[in-house]
Amino acid sequence: MSDLLLELSALEKAYHRGRPNQINVLCGANLKVKHGEIIALVAPSGAGKSTLLHIAGLLDTPDAGEVKFHGEVLNTMSDRRRTMIRRKEIGFVYQFHHLLPEFSALENVMLPQLANGQARSEAKSVAAELLSKVGIAERADHRPAELSGGEQQRVAFCRALANAPKVLLADEPTGNLDQTTSEQVFEILMSVARQTGLSAVIATHNPQLAAKMDRTVTLKNGLLE
């Protein structure tokens, strides 16, 4: 088996294509993510980090280029297969938690598992274990509004991991938190990722956090360096 998990090749993406105000966001971007590798994605705001992560996470398609997962070309596969891979193999964390307000922390972590066909009792025990791993077992029954920003992000992280994905894609996951909380949440995220052998691409503006990852790639002029 190849040691590559995710491979992005020659990705191109433009908005307002063919119009005078065309914005070329990706212009041949390449990235290889190995099993267990944690990569910092650094770029100024507006450079295209979200666009790149959405394409890598199969939430958007490139205009040209390839996304490969385990050597399988994804952007030519059926919608059904793509949805399955997205649900099972890829976890996403955003800058804002996007938890469902009417559900508890535990239920928010159960939902992706139920959507994936997991039995309720099993989904509940996986959710409880994940919340305990990130240190908020005692907040399981709280709704998002009753949690602090750092706790909300920890729940969002558990939700992303609920179906035991192979790769975590995170779009400035601690960008909305104060420095101390940001560092704490990041430490937890890294520790859980290392324990489970998860690969990750984590967009951040923070050079100290980037330095703790295996390597840094910079998105500049539509290319990854």
- Which residues of this chain interact with ligand ADP, rule CB under 6 A? 15, 23, 25, 43, 45-51
Residue number with CB closer to ligand ADP (144 or 173): 173
Instruction: Give the separation between CA 150 and CA 131, rounded to whole angstroms.
Output: 13
Name which of 109, 179, 171, 174 is nearest 137 in CA terms: 109
Instruction: Give the separation between CA 73 and CA 90, rounded to whole angstroms.
Output: 15
Residue number with CB closer to ligand ADP (48 or 150): 48
Nearest distance from C-beta of residue 110 to ligand ADP, angstroms: 30
Residue number with CB closer to ligand ADP (199 or 204): 204
Nearest distance from C-beta of residue 104 to ligand ADP, angstroms: 30
Residue number with CB closer to ligand ADP (98 or 194): 98
**Do residues 120 and 182 make contact, with C-beta atoms less than 8 angstroms apart?**
no
Residue number with CB closer to ligand ADP (112 or 222): 222
Nearest distance from C-beta of residue 45 to ligand ADP, angstroms: 4
Instruction: Give the separation between CA 204 and CA 208, rounded to whole angstroms.
Output: 10
CA atoms within 13 A on the CB side of 224: 27
Assigned token pair, 225? 């360096």
Instruction: Give the separation between CA 85 and CA 58, rounded to whole angstroms.
Output: 9
Nearest distance from C-beta of residue 47 to ligand ADP, angstroms: 4
Nearest distance from C-beta of residue 183 to ligand ADP, angstroms: 22
66-97 CB burial, b ≥16 within 10 A, e <16: ebbbeeeebeeeeeeebeebbbebbbbbbbeb
DSSP secondary-structure letter at 187?
A: H
Residue number with CB closer to ligand ADP (50 or 113): 50
Name which of 218, 214, 191 is nearest 205 in CA terms: 218
Nearest distance from C-beta of residue 16 to ligand ADP, angstroms: 6
